[in-house]
Structure 1
Amino acid sequence: MLARASKMLATLVAVLLTVEVAIRAVSSGFAEPVTWYHEIAQAKVEQIAEQDGELDYVFIGTSQTYHGIDPAVIDRRLSTRSYNAAIPAGIPPLQRRWLDDAVLPDLEVDTVVWPLSSIDLNAARPQEVAPLYDEAFEARDGVLAEVDRWLSARSATFRHRRTLADPRSWLEADDPVSGARDVLHANGKRRPGRANTSDAERRRIRRDVIGDYELGGRMSEDIRRTVGALREQGVDVVFVWLPQAPRFLDLLPDPSVDVAAEREARRLATDLDVPFVDVSDGYGNEDFSDFTHLSGDAAERLSAALADELAERRRR
């Protein structure tokens, strides 16, 4: 009986090894699994791992930051080293986890620069990304999640199990992670996106980003907690107030909302003793590729203005 069981076990191991070898041989043609909540975040984790030495500045926040702030412009003007670690829909509830999970463990950071806008201070934002983040392969907690990651790091069969379960996907050209790598500069700045001011995009922004706008609340509290945690780790913080496209401001329930949001951001900066830099003036619809993201030339202009402000603070 024991000999028979041993023989069956040996046969099973041999079959599994054969399958593993075969899948390793063909899996180079498979799309890489998206293991973070978004492929842009996954590509940035790879870039973060490649950074070497201490960084003077790390920029965080939403896609407004990774479209609008170019570390190359800032580093040329200030002789610094910086990286843009902003992520899609990276509103305050996501920032503490993202910093803890992906940014601070691998980077030596002197100062975190946190660009904000009325988008970041909307406590009633309809589109919540935090649950997607929590459920992502790399972010899940628990023993089973740890085992899953351990096996996936060692077995192509396990890593590509979802692809293998759907043979139709083997021939699909879509590869989100490779696409994310292609649109990012090595410093985390996103290459300019295509223009989109369509009615469909207008409706999406109104529905998913603005909704029944509510100022402050949990967003302000998350900002407070995140700044406190950064300070405990010896990391300085600077707030930056970003420009908004007039076509975006027209979608807000009231023109005074953006003014009130800036007032709240300044109040938080005062309460937390955080420097507040306003680089929002002088931008019109022509400077934005859509409703929220600066175009290439405008992003360079904004980055230069921010560099001048940071330089002034370095001299103090």
Structure 2
Amino acid sequence: MSDYSLAPGSIRPRRLRSSPAIRRLVSEHRLHAADLVLPMFVKETLTEPSELQGMPGVFQHTLDSLVTAAREAADAGVGGLMLFGIPAVRDEIGSQAWAPDGILNRAITAVSEAVGDRTVVMADLCLDEFTSHGHCGVLAADGSVDNDATLNRYAEMAVAQARAGAAVLGLSGMMDGQVAAVRHALDTAGFTDVIVLGYTAKYSSAFYGPFREAVESQLQGDRRTYQQDPANGREAMRELELDLAEGADIVMVKPGLPYLDVLAEVAQASPVPVWSYQISGEYAMVEFAARAGAIDRMPAILETLVALKRAGADAILTYWATEVASVLERRR
């Protein structure tokens, strides 16, 4: 029998994998609770929290239960909370988005007062939850989304959210010029310290499905005329250049795992922090696969998050934020 053993002095990469302590010591990327942002949903008409069928473990909240869950996330060390609102009444222009007593703006104030500086309170700045047609902007006479008219509404929404107490505004609508419009509106109103998070590369993805349940979307059709084509990668870099030129403080790639190549390229080129959103379909696939016994749930969750960090995400929006933060604390 031939002897295939390595010669003395041979390079053996396995040396650095030989024990948990060594693997931990040489790990190239680490998750921290502060890297995680928890998306949260508050629904105006609820009297008690309602679990989502498509996202087990995720809830539409009442205002009170939202505050309780926000405190739990802050206690766990979660870095931020991204709030979404579901109003009792929708209209063509989404007017509840900038109404001072609208559910999202009330939620921003309540959560901000509850958690103080222990975590960062953020708000989704988009009209899809508030419009009767479910699009991310106002419609022109021909039924298309009117980009420039929508920017005026985003500006109103931005000032309302800043007044309510949001520290970061997540511009998820994918309108051309949205970063510049919101930055100008904030600065003009005196909110120069409010941070603009540009959803720079937001793709028209099949993985948003469960999110539509979460916000009870009224959308008929799709958003392909303003969200990016999944086939395009270079286009994301053009969007990055525009968002940076318009004053984005942070940029986003969304979804997460299906777009690791885009995330890596954006992260390499961006001088500002780069975040990624691990979206509802990504969450649901892991949860339902684990329930079916096909995968080991928590190792799979952690692996997906490490993959996003490895690709270049400085922070990750994930529905597992509170749970993972608690796991990480126990493992310290």
Task: Tell me, yes or no, whether TM beats 0.5.
Answer: no
Higher RCO structure (Cα 8 Å, ≥6 apart) = 1
Higher strand proportion, which one?
A: 2
- TM-score calculated relative to the size of structure 1: 0.33
Higher helix proportion, which one?
A: 1
- TM-score calculated relative to the size of structure 2: 0.32
Rg comparison, structure with higher value: 1
